[in-house]
Structure formats: C-alpha cells, structure tokens
Amino acid sequence: MQTAPDAGLDRAFLQQVEADVRRALAEDVGSGDLTAALVPEGQTARAGIVCREAAVICGQPWVMATLGQVAPSAVATWHVADGGRCTPGQTVVEFTGPARGLLTAERTCLNFLQTLSAVATSTALHVAAVAGTGAAILDTRKTIPGLRVAQKYAVRCGGGRNHRMGLYDAILIKENHIAAAGGLGAAFAAARRHGAQARFIQVEVETLDQLEEALQAGVAMVLLDNMPIERIRSAVRMAAGRCSLEVSGGVTLARLRELAETGVDRISVGALIKDIRAIDFSMRFQAAPVERTRGAAAPA
C-alpha cells in the first residue's frame, strides 16, 4: 500500500493510530460488510474524498491505517496534506483499489476526517485570532474518550500547541488538590518532591492573593482560572515576567483577542475539541469499474 508521509510521527503514535482504527472498524464492520459483498470480489475501482467546505485537513494517518486494514493493496494519492487548507468542493485524496475494500473503508475514513479536520479548523481560527500577540493557543484534556492522541494531533495540525497529554506526564495543581494537600504551598512542595518525571509543574490560582503565594513559592507556571479581564491584567503586572501565565476557563473565540492582549503567555481552550462541528466530506466512486480481476489486488 502506498502510505502517506509520516515524518515526525513516532512508533508509539503510529501504534495508537492502528489501535484507533481497529476499534472503529470493529464497531462498524463487525463480522463483515454485508452490503459490500454485493460487489463482485475481483472488481477494482477509483474513488475520491471531496471536502464540501473550506477547512484545515487532518486525519491522513487514520485514513491510511484504515486502508491498510481493509484494503492493503489500495493506492492513495493525497492532494492536501494534514495541516493544509482546502477549498469547497476540492478532492483531498484519491484511491485506486479493490471496490469492496474501499466501500468498507468509506465511513471509517470519513468519520476520522470529519472529526479531526473539525478540530484542526477550529484551532486555526483561534490561532489566527491571537496572531501577533505572543500568546499561544493550547488544548485541554476535554477530549472524546479513546481519541485523545488523534485530537491533540489535530490541534497541532491547526497551529495550536498541546497541553499535558494526561495525568501521567505533567502536574497541574488545581483547587481540589490544594484543598486536599492543605494549601497551595504544601501542594507545590509535594509536587517538587515527587514530580521528577513530570514535564512541568503548574499551579492553578483564582485570586491575586493566590498568585502572590505561588510567586513566593517559586512556581514557574501559573494558570489563571476563570478570572475577569481586569484581574488578568493585574496578574500580568504582578507577575512581571517571574512566571509563565496561562488563562483558562470561559474562553470564547469572541473574547480571545482581548485575553491575548493582556500579555499572558498561553490560553487553553476546551472548545477546540469539545465544541466542534464536523466538516462535510463525502466519498465518490467512478460510475464504471476500473477493471475486473480474479484476485483482489489493485493496479499499481
């Protein structure tokens, strides 16, 4: 099978893609595609996936993995790479291969493309809204269960950055952690003792007094949670570059520019992933088959 370029995609990532596709095919195909079985076994075909609207494309590794599992002899030609923009009505990828396999792969391919392109497109809109301010757009852990790697990849395709992948790779001390640990200082001290493997330690604050306490404790990354705009401006002045400041909570596209212009370093936006509208894709087959063969192999 002709594969999509995967520069920068490590082995663990590609294994996760394969696992995502296996789950998707298991719930869709189950014991077999009863409708695709109506097509003669040796028939080959050409098909293309068209995007019906302007979008940032994302999902190529998942599409290629789907073909690899149900139509391994298929050949794919991509016209828009992940992270690239398409225009309404543009064909983003064309396939040549076994008709049965392409029919079986159709819905799984489209599901991944419509969801991941939606995340990438939404992210690109948010990134554009803060252009020139110096603020970075980050995602959150508010992902569809089982698709975190996929959706965080889509955020990167849209020009955003990933926050922590999960609870295992970084420490974010939130309100409940502070209460359970006996205070902000105690929670941060415990994190420094036990967080050697964490990529970063971040503390969430809700008031300027908490921010001052975090600064006095030597916290390098602070998350300003659900603060009104004037309090965020005061926080930036108070921090004066002594720590990295991130805004989270109640962030909308409409107020994103105003938040970025306060001088914060990062803005995390749950809506990038959880409030998306699927991008409109469809797969179209040629009216006539490419050829009929006794075997299942597609032409080179």
Catalytic-labelled residue, pool 85, 141, 161, 174: 174
Distance CA 229, CA 256 (A): 11
* 174 a catalytic residue: yes
Amino acid at 171: I
3-state secondary structure of 284: strand
Catalytic-labelled residue, pool 6, 85, 94, 142: 142
Catalytic-labelled residue, pool 204, 213, 246, 265: 204
* 161 a catalytic residue: no
Q: Is the CA virtual torsion 241, 242, 244, 245 positive or negative?
A: negative
* 156 a catalytic residue: no
Distance CA 18, CA 34 (A): 24
DSSP state for residue 86 in the 8-state scheme: E
Catalytic-labelled residue, pool 6, 94, 206, 225: 225
* 107 a catalytic residue: yes
CA angle 87, 92, 96 (to 5 degrees): 155
Three-class SS of 99-153: HHHHHHHHHHHHHHHHHHHHHHHHHHHHHHHCCCCCCEEECCCCCCCCCHHHHHH
Distance CA 97, CA 76 (A): 9
Spatial contact of 7 and 49, defined as CB atoms under 8 Å apart: no
Burial class (CB in 10 A: 0-12, 13-18, 19+), 216: exposed
* 199 a catalytic residue: no
DSSP state for residue 290 in the 8-state scheme: S
Catalytic-labelled residue, pool 85, 107, 231, 233: 107
Active site residues: 107, 142, 174, 204, 225
